[in-house]
Amino acid sequence: MSDLRKDLVSGDWIIMAPERAKRPSEFFPEKRARNILPKEQCPFDDLAKSGNLPMYIGAPDEKSWKAAVVPNKFPALTHSDVCATMVQDGLFEHVEGHGQHDLLIFREHEKGIDAIPRNDVIMAFEALQKRYLMLAKDKCLVYTSAFFNWGPSAGASLHHPHIQILTLPIMPPSILHSLVHSRNYWQKHKRCVHCDILAYEEKEKVRIVCESERAIAVAPYASRHPFGVTVYPKAHLPSFEATGRDDLAAVVDMLQSCLGKMKRNINDPDLNFFIHTAPLKSKKTYTHYHWHMEVLPKISIPAGFELSTGVLINVVPPETAAAMLRR
Ligand SMILES: [Zn+2]
Ligand SMILES: [Zn+2]
């Protein structure tokens, strides 16, 4: 039987329709070919040669970096010292493309993040935290989205592992939605919605993919995509960049573990992951928030129904997904 599930945080509706994936092979799309450039031609191996400089952050240092934060040569938004303002454009409104678009580049040329040494990945996420703190000082910028595209179908134009860091002068609608809904829950119940979800999932057990003392990975009850997993620090922490090393390392371990499970158990899909955290400023306003990372394998493509209604159809219920990933 298919089933309509409501997301407790966003209020979105998701249709769970396992009958639509009758053949087990539909769970595992054909392995996608990743077009890996030879190292000599890869722009992320020699940053000076490819013009991907200046280096804002080199970790552990600029010379022997394992992770580097640099400007994107092809930015979606460009930076200026003047804050963008809303301008009337006839009937419409627009804001100039003021923002910042950076890249966090791993030294590793080919392997996925699951296979990069743990300490290098932790160091990369610490560099990302530093970049968030630098961006928070810019009075014009409102929200930073850090996201990872892996494989052509997930939007990666270059294979070399890198995280994009796009900072906006406006609040993205889906983040605003999530912040408002979690604040409403906080005001009503005097508790964090994500902490409540985690306590519930610990009791139910069926949707937990893996966990440690400080972090947990869950296939969400109203999972939007087949095999989607959310990774949380167990402690109630509103912002990614203010998270201490032990909690951050625990989340990184959980992320690497989830990526490894996806590689081994569901045929190494293309995927995206991203961070959802509190906005850059007014941290006191967002004490109700609980930052997390969402990992979304690229298994289904939104079609007419999804585009017309915003309601997604997921053919792999999270209980099935968690059991298959746990193997
Ligand atoms: Zn490379
Ligand atoms: Zn919480």
Distance spanning both ends of the chain, measured CA to CA: 25
What value does the mean pLDDT of the chain take? 93
284: pLDDT strictly greater than 80: no
248: pLDDT strictly greater than 80: yes
Distance 267 CA to ligand 1 centre (A): 23
Run of H or E residues at 198 = helix 193-204
96: pLDDT strictly greater than 90: no
Distance 109 CA to ligand 1 centre (A): 4
Which ligand sits nearest to residue 189's alpha carbon? 2
Distance 92 CA to ligand 1 centre (A): 42
Residue 4 confidence class, pLDDT cut points 50, 70, 90: very high
At 81 the pLDDT is 80
Averaged pLDDT, 176-196: 95
Distance 18 CA to ligand 2 centre (A): 31
At 199 the pLDDT is 98
Which ligand sits nearest to residue 40's alpha carbon? 1
Burial readout 201-229 (b: 16 or more C-beta within 10 A, e: otherwise): beeeeebbbbbeebbbbbbbbbbbbbbbb
Tell me the residue length of the chain. Answer: 327
CA 126 – CA 57 distance, rounded (Å): 10
31: pLDDT strictly greater than 90: no
Distance 14 CA to ligand 2 centre (A): 23
Nearest residue to 218 (alpha-carbon basis) of 240, 251, 189, 246: 251
Distance 90 CA to ligand 1 centre (A): 46
String of DSSP letters for 139-155: TT--EEEEEEEESGGGT
Which ligand sits nearest to residue 37's alpha carbon? 1
**Domains of the chain, start order:** 8-29+173-269+281-327 (3.30.428.10), 38-170 (3.30.428.10)
At 25 the pLDDT is 63
At 24 the pLDDT is 60
At 80 the pLDDT is 82
pTM (predicted TM-score): 0.94
Q: What percent of the chain has pLDDT over 90?
A: 76
